[in-house]
């Protein structure tokens, strides 16, 4: 079994296959240092924690992670808070930065004797229509090689070899550009509020998400095409303070910016997720906008479903779960996509020139926020989907 990619999907899959007695190898194009330092979202859903617990992969999460259950909305109509762990299914998030989760999964996999090759780029998958697919790889020295297995799991992202190797016409590719861009910022500064902060402002969205007691993630809506380094740190902090209404609700704790990136909010889904002996999971299966922190949670869920199906097939000769893998994953993916799209509409004014249509959409957004502020049934729906996958 060949697994492409050492992100959450690939490493959870590798750990579960290894524990289930399935021989596998994980191939990762980045170095070990790069894998351990990639900055990503860190809000884990309750079901994700249950999956990791179920397979003995949650020790680091419980040791260093923190339970979180409150979000605060700041708008032109005031502010309000939701303790979402008391709503819906009454489940919190666990804050555990993704690079720490990946490091935990990597350590567990290697300590258990798992095989993993870093700086090994998958170039193409061949023979997926048969029962002995192969993967052409290129090492850091430029030399090429080949890996072969009964199945190939593509967990190597939207630009990886798994997607590139799909036969023309074999997949439906659903795409949506939300028309919104963010500066994603990581600040060496303590959190400024004890909640996830969502600020809706006439100048654009601003977001606050704690990562650790010393580091905070911020998001700042910007014009499409804005380079990550275009704004000075002072301008970024001033804009965050303005949009988060710091003069009304308290100052932001400032500090140096450790990392910044430009993010265009896009979503896509491939159907189906299985093509003969090639199976997709994580961002290779679907890309979701970061507006609702679903990406890593979907990746872990898909990895568990795929691992169970592969173990049933390879160890017990039962192919039914593998035949159902794509349909089961897509049910979860589309539900997450729907909520993510709803969140984009909740938090952002319609980009583009002002006019009657923009004013109409802006009024709808304010109505959604009013319902979320006042309606218990709306709050329960929000909590169930906000934490769930």
Which candidate, 40, 65, 41, 39, places its Cα nearest to that of 52?
65
Local structure of residue 281 (DSSP, 8 states): -
Give the whole-angstrom CA distance, residue 93 versus residue 96.
9
| Residue 98: burial class (beta carbons within 10 Å; 0-12, 13-18, 19+) | buried
Share in percent of the chain as helix, strand, coil (round to 5): 40, 25, 35
Place of tokens 């929000």: 382
CB 306 within 8 A of CB 17: no
Give the whole-angstrom CA distance, residue 36 versus residue 101.
9
pLDDT tens digit at each of 389 positions of the chain: 999 999 999 999 999 999 999 999 999 999 999 998 886 768 999 999 999 999 999 999 999 999 999 999 999 999 999 999 999 999 999 999 888 999 999 999 999 999 999 999 999 999 999 999 999 999 999 999 999 999 999 999 999 999 999 998 999 999 999 999 999 999 999 999 999 999 999 999 999 998 888 999 999 999 999 999 999 999 999 999 999 999 999 999 999 999 999 999 999 999 999 999 999 999 999 999 988 889 999 999 999 999 999 999 999 999 999 999 999 999 999 999 999 999 999 999 766 666 778 888 889 999 999 999 999 999 999 999 999 87
CB 162 within 8 A of CB 125: yes
In Å, the largest CA–CA distance within the chain is 64
Q: What are phi and psi of 13, to 5 degrees?
A: -60, -45
Q: What are phi and psi of 193, to 5 degrees?
A: -150, 160
Domain boundaries, the chain: 2-69+95-175+266-343
Tens digit of each residue's pLDDT (9 = 90 or more) over 179-236 = 999 999 999 999 999 999 999 999 999 999 988 889 999 999 999 999 999 999 999 9
Q: Tokens for 263, please give them.
A: 């993010």
Q: What are phi and psi of 113, to 5 degrees?
A: 95, 15
In order, the DSSP letters of 140-194 are TTS-EEEEE-S-EEE-S-TTSHHHHTSPTTS-EEEEEEEEEEEEEEEESS--SSS
Q: Is the dihedral of CA 376, 377, 382, 388 positive or negative?
A: positive
Q: Which CATH number fits domain 2-69+95-175+266-343: 3.20.20.70, 3.50.50.60, 3.40.50.1980, 3.40.50.2000?
A: 3.50.50.60
Which residues belong to the active site?
68, 198, 290, 294, 386
Give the whole-angstrom CA distance, residue 176 versus residue 121.
28
Supply the pTM of this predicted model. Answer: 0.94
Q: Helix, strand or coil for residue 64?
A: helix
Q: What is the helix (H) or strand (E) element at residue 49, kind and residue range?
A: helix 46-54
Local structure of residue 284 (DSSP, 8 states): G
């Amino acid at each position: 079994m060949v697994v492409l990619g050492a992100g959450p999907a690939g490493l959870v899959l590798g750990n579960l296959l290894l524990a289930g007695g399935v021989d596998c190898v994980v191939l990762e194009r980045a170095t070990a240092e790069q894998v351990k330092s990639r900055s990503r979202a860190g809000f884990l859903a309750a079901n994700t924690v249950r999956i990791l617990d179920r397979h003995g992969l949650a020790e680091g999460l419980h040791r260093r992670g923190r339970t979180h259950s409150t979000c605060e909305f700041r708008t032109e109509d005031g502010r309000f808070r939701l303790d979402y762990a008391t709503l819906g299914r009454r489940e919190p998030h666990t804050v555990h930065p993704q690079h720490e989760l990946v490091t935990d999964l990597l350590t567990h996999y290697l300590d258990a004797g798992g095989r993993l090759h870093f700086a090994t780029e998958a170039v193409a998958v061949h023979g997926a229509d048969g029962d002995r697919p192969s993967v052409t790889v290129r090492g850091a020295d430029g030399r090429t090689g080949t890996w072969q297995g009964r199945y190939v799991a593509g967990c190597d992202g939207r630009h990886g070899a798994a997607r590139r190797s799909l036969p023309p016409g074999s997949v439906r590719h659903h795409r949506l550009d939300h028309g919104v861009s963010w500066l994603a910022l990581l600040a060496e500064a303590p959190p400024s509020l004890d909640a996830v902060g969502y600020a809706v402002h006439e100048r654009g969205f601003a977001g606050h998400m704690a990562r650790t007691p010393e580091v905070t993630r911020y998001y700042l809506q910007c014009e499409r095409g804005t380079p990550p380094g275009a704004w000075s740190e002072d301008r970024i902090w001033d804009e965050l303070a303005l949009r988060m209404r710091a003069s009304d609700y308290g100052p932001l704790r400032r500090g140096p910016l450790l990392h910044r990136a430009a993010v265009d909010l896009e979503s896509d889904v491939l159907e189906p997720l299985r093509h003969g002996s090639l199976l997709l999971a994580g961002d290779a299966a679907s890309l979701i906008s970061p507006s609702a922190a679903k990406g890593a949670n979907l990746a872990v869920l898909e990895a568990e479903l795929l691992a169970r199906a592969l173990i049933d097939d390879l160890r017990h000769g039962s192919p039914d779960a593998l035949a159902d893998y794509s349909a089961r994953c897509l049910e979860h993916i589309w539900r997450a996509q729907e909520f993510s799209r709803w969140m984009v509409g909740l938090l952002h004014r319609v980009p583009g020139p002002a006019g009657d249509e923009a004013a109409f959409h802006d009024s709808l957004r304010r109505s959604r926020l009013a319902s979320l502020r006042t309606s218990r049934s709306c709050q329960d729906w929000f909590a169930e989907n906000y934490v769930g996958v």
